[in-house]
A = this chain, B = another copy of it.
Amino acid sequence: MIIQKEITLKPRERGFHLITDEITSQLNGFDKSCSGLAHIFIKHTSASLTINENADPTVRIDMETYFNKLIPESATYFMHTLEGSDDMTSHIKNSILGSSISVPITNGKLNIGTWQGIYLCEHRNHGGARKIVVTAVLNDL
């Protein structure tokens, strides 16, 4: 059994944002006997998805601080900067962090660790709404 939904996340400011609840709300209502995989994909090249700590907001701030240092907008060697200094740096962040995550589903629910949450990583200063495709591959185990 495969279930697939395309959703649009509201625009968020540049930085790392917890979106676990928005994703899991798309994956509710499965029968408790269903297990398998959930795949979450972002249809953009300047925003990413990752999994990380879901409790302390300073983790998300430290992430933004670190990745801005790792891929500095002040670098003079980038050619692809037509849309601004956050253009090429966003593409690089996207390839380092990734366009999708996948997570086990067990007994009808996302089977992630106690401290794990799903992050939207918005790399652009004005990224706008972001389209996500959620696909679940399920079976009665």
Instruction: Tell me the A residues contacting B by CB distance below 8 Å.
Output: 1-4, 6, 35-37, 39, 41-45, 50-53, 56, 58-59, 61-63, 65-66, 69-71, 75, 77-80, 88, 91-92, 94-104, 106, 111-113, 115-116, 119, 131, 133, 135, 137-139, 141
Contacts and interface: CB of A to CB of B under 8 A. Distances in A.
A14 to B, nearest CB: 16
A6 B39 CA distance: 19
B104 A44 contact: no
Nearest to A106: B4
A88 B100 contact: no
A83 to B, nearest CB: 10
Nearest to A44: B113
